[in-house]
Structure 1
Amino acid sequence: MSLFKRSVVAEITSHAGVVFSTLMVVWLSVLLVRLLGEAANGAIGADIVFGLAAFSSITALPVILAVSLFIAVLTTVTRSYRESEMVVWFVSGLSLKDWIAPILRCALPVSLLIALLTLFASPWAYRQIGEYRQRYEQRSDLSKVTAGQFIETQGGDRVFFAEEPSAPGEELGRVIARVIDPEWHSIITAESANIQTEKNGDRFLVLSSGHRYDLKPGKPDFRLFDFDRYGFRLESKSDSTSLEAVRREAESKTKARPTGQLLADDTDRARSQVMWRLALPLAALNLALLALPLGAVNPRLGRSGDYLLAGLVGLLYMNLINLSRGWISNGQLAFGVGLWLVHALFLALMMYMMWRRLRVKAPKKPSPPAPV
């Protein structure tokens, strides 16, 4: 490999690593804030936050890799123009076309990695995310109760609040619960609570030393009970769902279905998802080549306008892919046309911009001398 190609590949790789690390840190920061908010609201368990963050990061990797490659190539080409390094290469007999080979040397492995992620890894990650969330939803009510937090279960029909246990052997301290059934609205308080599992697998929440207040909605009926021990069913063994059922339900979602199943499914929704999985690696390759003419700038001009234009082009590219996916899903666009149309348009744009950069303009004819 020549010195030129080695230097270009090394710089693109270095810039891509920095951009990728930055985007991943930003993505994980936003994701963790959102997941911790869901955990605080009781939508998910605190013990599955990091698992969900890991699998969600896998699903985001294709877009992050494509954007990182685009910015890395754009930054490398722009820097070479602004620091007049491009002049040295041009004087040495190279042209802008000679940049295509080192760019493809970096872009092809990234595009292949994105294809593996979109076709195989991302669907698997979506299935794992679905299973994590469904397992949490299938937990018993008591397993979702966290000391110091209000937790809603069964669509809001049960609301729990528990304190830390004050005596050894207790699983929960003081408990207050609101229970809504078709006839009564109940408020239950107790000094402590424990789980009791019967021989048939049913689980009960057993409250100790408490009170129950019942009110019938719309009627002046009111009941008050004092109890030493009070239990109500939390989970029946027959209510639990097998892991295989959870897996089947997760795979029924389009994003989580394996690519082989989507190819065998002759529906517009399945074809739109296949189009999306194939479009991302092609878009990464196209954007890397498109960054070459977009990065060819005049060193004497400001740099913000060029980066803004490149960002708008990349944003337009991804939005058109999303738009094509929606049209395919609604049956408004054929799968074959939607798969190649956007990429062909931007490939033609790249070739036109390269032709504009490479063509040599004829010198202007001198104007005739003015008459004396």
Structure 2
Amino acid sequence: MSLFKRAAVSEFASNASVVFSTLIIIWLSIVLVRLLGEAANGTIGADVVLGLTGLTTIAALPTVLAAAVFIGVLTTVSRSYRESEMVVWFTSGLSLLSWIRPALRIAVPAAIVVGLLTIFASPWSHRQIQEYRARFELRSAISQVTTGEFLELEHGARVILVEANENDPEKLGQVFVRIKDDPWHSVVVSDHAKTEVAPNGDRFLVLEEGMRYDLTPGGLVTRLWDFDEFAVRLDSKDAEQTLRQSREHALLNHKGRPTGLLLTDGKSHSDGQLMWRLAIPIATINLALLAIPMGAVNPRAGRSFDMLVAGLIALLYFNLINLSHSWINNQTLPFGVGVWLVHLVFLSLTVFLFWHRVRVRAPKNPSD
């Protein structure tokens, strides 16, 4: 490999790795804040935040890697122009077209990795995210209760309020339960309670040494009970069945469906998801090539405007891919057209910019 190609490939890889690390850190910060907010609200468990963060990051890796390659090539080419290094390469007999092969040496392996991520890893991560959330739903409902806050079960048919037990951390403190079981409305109170799991997997809140008041709204009949133990069923979920249903639901979700099922499905939503999985690897190569003429800047001019335009073009590329995805889902655009249309448009833009940069302009007439 020539000195030029070694230097170009090395700087492409260095800049792309720095950009990739930066984007991943930003992404992790955003995802962690969002998931910690969900954990604080009780939507997910605090112990699954890190796992969900990793799985969500895997799903985002294809787009992040494609953007990192684009910015890595762009910054390398623009730096060579700003520091007049490009003049040295041009006087050595090279042209802007000579940057294509070094860019492809980075873009093609990156596109293969992106393809493996979109075809295999991303669908798997979406399925795992749903299973994580399903496993959280299988936990005892009382584990989702914040002391001093009301927990509603069965759409408000049962309402539970618990207090902390300062003497015995293994048990709950004072408990208030309201039960609607037509025609009766019941109120159950106890000074302490505990949770138990039946052999069949049903979960119960067992109140000890309390009182139960039964009444009929608008009626005159009231019943008063005292008890040694009173069990309130929290849930009766079959863990294996629930997880199996969750996995089946994940397969119905097109983001989590294996690529093999998408190929045999024949539905428009499956075609749209398949188009997206093929589009990101192709976009990785297209953006790397587009970055070369986009990085050809005037060293005397500021670089902010050119970088801004390049960023907007890359953002437009990804948005058009998502738009094509929606059009294929809605059967507005045929799959055979949608899978190539956006890439051909941006490839044409790349060819035009290369032609604009490398064409030999006629000398100006001195009399003008």
Please indicate, yes or no, whether the TM-score normalized by the shorter chain is above 0.5. yes
Q: Which residue of 1 aligns with 2:127?
A: 127
* Structure 1 CA distance for aligned equivalents of residues 158 and 324 of structure 2: 44
- SS of the aligned residue for 1:241 comes to helix
Match of 1:271 in 2: 271
Q: What is aligned with 1:343?
A: 343
Question: What residue ranges of structure 1 are gaps of 5+ in the alignment?
Answer: none
Match for residue 97 of structure 2?
97
Structure 1 residues 179-188 or 97-106, which shifts more?
179-188
Residue 63 (structure 1) aligned with residue 69 (structure 2): no
Output the CA distance in 2 between the equivalents of 1:34 and 1:184. Answer: 42
Aligned to 1:109: 109
Alignment of structure 1 residues 319-338 onto 2, 5 Å: 319-338=319-338
Post-superposition shift, 1:177?
4.7
Task: Give me the whole-angstrom Cα distance separating, in 2, the residues matched to 1:187 and 1:242.
Answer: 31
Query: Within 1, Cα distance between the matches of 2:79 and 2:223?
Result: 79
What's the counterpart of residue 196 of structure 2?
196
- Alignment root-mean-square deviation, CA: 2.6
- Rate the CA distance shift 1:217–1:263 in 2: closer, same or farther, 3 A: farther
User: Could you report, residue by residue, the CA deviation over 1:170-223 in whole angstroms, capped at 9, with x for unpaired residues?
Assistant: 333334455555656666543322123344543321012445566767889987
In the alignment, the residues of structure 2 paired with residue 219 and residue 324 of structure 1 have an alpha-carbon distance, to the nearest angstrom, of: 62
Would you say the 8 A contact 2:138–2:237 is kept in 1? no
- State whether structure 2 residue 46 is matched by structure 1 residue 46: yes
- The AA in structure 2 aligned to 1:190 is S
CA–CA separation in structure 1 for the residues paired with 2:222 and 2:164: 31
TM-score (norm 1): 0.90
Determine the structure 2 residue equivalent to 1:171. Answer: 171
Superposition deviation, residue 302 in structure 1:
1.4
Whole-Å separation in 2 of the counterparts to 1:350 and 1:247: 43
Structure 2 CA distance for partners of 1:156 and 1:75, relative to 1, 3 Å: farther
- Alpha carbons of structure 1 residues 187 and 132: separation in structure 2 relative to 1, 3 Å: farther
Distance 1:150-1:115 versus aligned 2 partners, 3 A rule: farther
Q: Could you say if the C-alpha distance between residues 221 and 270 of structure 1 is closer, same or farther in structure 2, counting changes exceeding 3 Å?
A: farther
CA gap 1:341/1:231 in 2 versus in 1, 3 angstroms: same
Describe the SS at the equivalent of 1:167.
coil
Partners of 1:46 and 1:37 in 2: how far apart? 10
In the superposition, the TM-score normalised over structure 2's length comes to 0.91
Tell me the SS of whatever aligns to 2:232: strand
CA contact (8 A) 1:170 1:192 kept: no
Q: 1-side partners of 2:156 and 2:303: how far apart?
A: 54
Higher mean C-alpha deviation, range 81-90 or range 218-227: 218-227
Structure-1 residue corresponding to 2:7: 7
Say if 1:170 and 1:193, in contact at 8 Å, map to a contact too: no
Q: Partners in 1 of 2:220 and 2:240 — Cα distance?
A: 38
Give aligned-pair identity as a percent. Answer: 57
Matched-pair contact (CA < 8 Å) for 1:42–1:152: no
Residues 19 and 72 of structure 1 are in contact (CA less than 8 Å); yes or no, is this contact kept in structure 2? yes
Q: Is the 8 A contact 1:271 1:328 kept in 2?
A: yes
Q: Residue 82 of structure 1 contacts residue 299 of structure 1 at CA under 8 Å; is this kept in 2?
A: yes
Letter in 2 for 1:287: L
Give the direction of change, closer, same or farther, for the CA distance of 1:222–1:162 in structure 2 (3 Å limit).
same
1:114-138 Cα distance to aligned partner (Å, 9 max, x none): 0000001111111111111112223
